[in-house]
Each structure stands twice: as C-alpha cells, then as structure tokens.
Amino acid sequence: MQSLYFDAAATTPLAPEAADAMDALRDTWGNSASQHHLGRESRAVVERSLTRIAEVLGVSPHQLTPTHGGTHGNQQVLQVAARRWGWAHLYASTVEHSSVVDLLLPENRFDPMTFAGTRPEARLLALMQVNNETGAIYDIAALRRSFPDAVLLSDWVQAVHRVPHSWLAEVDIATFSAHKFGGPKGMGVLYTAVPEAWPELTAQHHTVDHVRLAGMAAALLRDPKAEHLQRLTLHLQQLLQASVPGLIIHRHGIAQASGILSVSVPGVRGAQIMRLLDTEEALCVSTGAACTRNIFAPSRVLQAITSDTQHHYPVRLSLHTGLTLEDTEHLAAAFASIVGQLRAQVR
C-alpha cells in the first residue's frame, strides 16, 4: 500500500534543494559569532542566507533575526514584551497557535474577525496571518487601522507563499518557521519592521545554525507552485463535497489559504476518520494542530469560531506540491468509504 502524506501543515518533507544546500556546508562548522576565519566563513553563510530569505519576503536582511523556529520566535517576542509592559498588556486572538496563547493571560483574548475583547491598555496584539487548523486568512491591515499605536505580532508560520509577502508591511513583528515550506526543523526567522526598537530580540544570544539557515533559504527560493496547490485543494474539496453527504467545510477569516482544508462530518469524530485513513489506507491526515496530544479532544480553534458542537471534531487535510490530482482522488474515495463504514456502525 502506498503511503501518502496530507499533513503538510504539521511539517513538510525536506526539499532536495535544502538538503543539497546543507550537505554542501559539511566542512563549514565554525561558530558564526567567532572572530577568526572559521567563524567568518560561517558568518558569511548566515549573511548570504538572510539576504536570500529577505529577497523572497521583500524585506531587508537587517530586519531578519535567526530563531529556532515558530515556537521559539513567538515565545521570545512575548517574553520581551512582557518584560517591557507586563503580561496584562499583551493580547492574542482566540485562534492563535498554542505557542502564543499558552503564555498569555487566559482573559486577554480577542476575536480574530471583530477584534472584540481588545482593550485600550493593550500594548501588543497577536493576530496570525494564516491559521494552521483552518487555513483562514486574517485581516491584519484592519487590525492596524483599528489599533494604530499597538505593536502587532503576526505569526506567519503558515503564511509563506500563501498571501502576498507585501502584507508584512502591516506588522511590527512576524515569526517564520522553515519546516513548513521544505526547510529543516528547528530553524526560523523573526522579522522586525524596526529592529532598532527591539534590541532584546535582535541581539543574537544563541549560536546560529548557519547550515539550517542555508537550508531554509534554499527551500524558500524554490518555485512555490501556487497554482498547482490551488488546483489540488479545489479538486479535493469538490470531490469530498460530492461524495460525503453533510460534509462541513470550515471557513473563516477574509479568505481561505490554499493547501489547508478543515472539514467535519456530523456524527463522526475526526479522530476516528484519521485513525482509519492511517491504519487501513496509509494516508496521513490530522485532526487539527500537530501539537494537540489528545486527538479526541474538541478543537480549541473551532470552539472559538463556532458554538455548533458538530464542527468541533474536524479532520485537517493539508496538501503539498508533491501531490497529484490522482492522489487527492485516492484520498477523497478512501475518506468517503471510511465515513460510510463509521456511519453504518452507529445506525
């Protein structure tokens, strides 16, 4: 049985270009902070990689700081902001990744569409650009218009190549992670619009992994094949709608990013579908965020979006460009057949 991967929002396979770029640096192992020639060699890799990443994102290399990934970036920003203003002044939308909401005061939440829940004393507002569970795109420009003086932190971990990179102009700080677009795990960058305003964030305290940073740059430089991803997503959606009666497709935000399809089937838990797709068909999907340990628990993000409990146990199907239309047809057929089996059991 051929294993097929539909969980790209959790992580993506390492792109050959990223693997090659990292292999080529096998003998470049100096610490990029060292002052001797081996250090300078690694520092040149850091600088070259940041320049490449900056070019793709349409920003300046000096606005980018290497991190250990999305979680590290988000947590660093929140900790620095809390030291400046106190936790009571930091707010996040209800649909943020757990690396953001888990740190903040539970009452400091706002609605990602209406912004209800924000308070005038908020100094930092966190609103992600693309949601990792639903693919919803949020309107950061509207948040900026409503709160011109607050610092806007935007988690861009799922946003690369999915929204125009020029939208970064709306945010003060954004976080990125390499392993969501073919780069290595444990590597990311932080974007700060005005780096001089954030010396605690931009001063490098850890040893930068220049090899992984080069892998990140190589992955980012690849053709994102956006049209192919869009076609795959639409095809899968149409097939599922046609073959699974009562299917709910979760939509939120101002638009839907391609590559992430979150669906629920009334009367059937997403975890049941996920398990059977895995064990009977070797098809990898997820129930929501990859970091959710209890797959039978309701989705925190969908609970925030709707009170209808039929929506709270989704399956997330997230696609990558290595898939074909035939692969999505295979998934849709297996999905429909498993839903049929599960529905027959409860009758």
Ligand X SMILES: Cc1ncc(COP(=O)(O)O)c(C=O)c1O
Q: Contacting ligand X (CB under 6 A), which of 177, 256, 287, 321?
A: 177
Q: Which residue is nearest to ligand X (CB)?
A: 70
Residue closest to 94 by CA, chosen among 157, 36, 136: 136
Q: Is residue 125 within a helix (H) or strand (E), and if so which, with residue range?
A: strand 124-126
- The nearer residue to ligand X, 97 or 250, going by C-beta atoms, is 97
Q: Return the range that interacts with ligand X (CB under 6 A); candidates 32-40, 56-64, 67-75, 255-263.
A: 67-75
The answer to whether residues 327 and 240 touch, using CB atoms and an 8 Å cutoff, is: no
Beta-strand pair 124-126/151-155 = parallel
- Binding flag, residue 112, ligand X (CB under 6 A): no
Q: Is 121 helix (H, G, I), strand (E, B) or coil?
A: coil
Q: Return the range that interacts with ligand X (CB under 6 A); candidates 155-163, 259-267, 278-286, 332-340.
A: 155-163
Q: Contacting ligand X (CB under 6 A), which of 43, 52, 89, 97?
A: 97
DSSP class of residue 14? P
Contacts of 179 (CB under 8 A, 6+ apart): 11, 12, 69, 185, 186, 187
- Binding flag, residue 134, ligand X (CB under 6 A): no
Residue closest to 32 by CA, chosen among 205, 163, 183, 151: 205
- The nearer residue to ligand X, 153 or 244, going by C-beta atoms, is 153
Q: How far is the CB of 177 from ligand X (least distance, A)?
A: 3
Q: Is residue 175 within a helix (H) or strand (E), and if so which, with residue range?
A: strand 173-177
Using CB under 6 A, count the residues that bind ligand X: 13
DSSP class of residue 227? H
- The nearer residue to ligand X, 153 or 268, going by C-beta atoms, is 153
Q: Contacting ligand X (CB under 6 A), which of 32, 43, 57, 69?
A: 69
- Binding flag, residue 99, ligand X (CB under 6 A): yes
Rounded (5°) CA angle 51-56-61:
30
Q: Contacting ligand X (CB under 6 A), which of 8, 128, 211, 274?
A: 128
Amino acid letter, residue 32: S
Q: How far is the CB of 100 from ligand X (least distance, A)?
A: 8
What is the contact surface with ligand X in residues (CB under 6 A)? 69-71, 97, 99, 128, 132, 155, 157-158, 177, 188, 290
